[in-house]
Structure 1
Amino acid sequence: MDFRLPFEIDHLPFLFLAIVIAFTVHEFAHAATAYRFGDPTAQKLGRVTLNPMPHVSLLGLLFILFLGFGWARPVPVNRSNFKNPRLMSIVVSAVGPLSNLVVAIVAAAAAYGLFATGALDAASPGLYRAVGLIFFYLVHINMLLFIFNLIPLPPLDGYRIVEDLAPLRLRLQMMKYEAWGVYIFLLIVFITPVFNVTLGPILGQVVVWRHALLAFMSALFGANIDWVYVFGG
């Protein structure tokens, strides 16, 4: 099961914008929460900002656009500055993926709320499709990052959460082999047969969750979006 995005070349600007927004919100959430809890490390590096420039890695952006797997610039966190290092580290790790879930929900609500007003009924085909595409990719990419980052493998946020929840003895063992875990993660991502029976089924849930969210918003706002038309069908 492949989660990589097959997209038309004219979708690239909308996909690019959605990825930049998703990465920026994710890293900002980490940085702002760490700063709120007393760690100024990221703030001193200019990471407590919604300006995408400090957060987005050009190489990571290109990878996710064309290979379906990429990264932003990690937010440095010094957990020794926290009053309760384990608990606050869990929160700092969790807010990144959760911020992406919030953006996906807001984007889905905004899309159906806008279409429910009838504001685009008389819009040109180009405008109708452009609005539909940006909201679709905002929902899809943020849902993807939400699920992907909760996978408990290093260097993802899910691993950090599990590590902080683990008893001290187990946590020390995890830290000992953490560097090898990163290599194993990369092998899983890039070796298709292994990916298809490990991460693939998990990331396949992105489509399920996306569909459920859009269906819920459609029912909530009593509006329909012609996604076939949006995608040029």
Structure 2
Amino acid sequence: MPSVLIVDDDADLSAIVARYLESEGFAVVRAASAEEAYDVLGARPFDLVLLDINLPGDDGFAACEALRRASDVPIVFASARTSETDRIVGLDTGGDDYLPKPYSLRELLAHVNALLRRSRGRSGGAGRPLVAGPFALDEAAGTLAKDGIVAALSPKEFALARFLIAHEGETVSKERLLAEVWGAFSEVEPQTVSVHMSWLRAKVEDDPSRPAHFKTVRGRGYRFDAEGGAS
């Protein structure tokens, strides 16, 4: 179930949007300020953030910059500020899309779905497993199978595998994995990533001490190799 964080101080509007997205199969959390959003984002990751500009405390531009320093989560600005300058600043600070208020709920859903499809990259359409080498990752079922055998992964192990598989061939730092798997402003120690990676390897690698797929790149982080091979 895709998760969306709505950051908007208009409680009535955010409640309407939340109910609509929930009816369309999304898990939704609301925050009334950037500061509240930071706390929420420190506790868990999200698949997308819907962000207003006019907020108490840090405005939406500042919130976007702070979030973008920690995470690549898709960000949609949804604001009554519709000038060209505001749209440019929103995109330049790291926003992925800009939706002017007022908008229809169907239009919002179309923007959200389009951005989620792009962010998932190789995963294809909804409901289709992501296949990479001997692995098949089923987002809807929350399972990872190797050679047709489903591994008994914890939610964090699954999320860790999902992120690395989706970024096949890319070296990902521990800090980025913490942001994308545990939460953008999480205070979890980087060693937590190493521990979960060890647990993941124990369940999916033929020889966890010499992983063929979930590899360590010394001094830089981890990389997923679909084809496998010597570490």
Higher helix share: 1
Compute the TM-score of the two structures, normalised by the length of structure 2: 0.24
Compute the TM-score of the two structures, normalised by the length of structure 1: 0.24
With CA pairs under 8 Å and 6+ residues apart, which has the higher RCO, 1 or 2?
A: 1
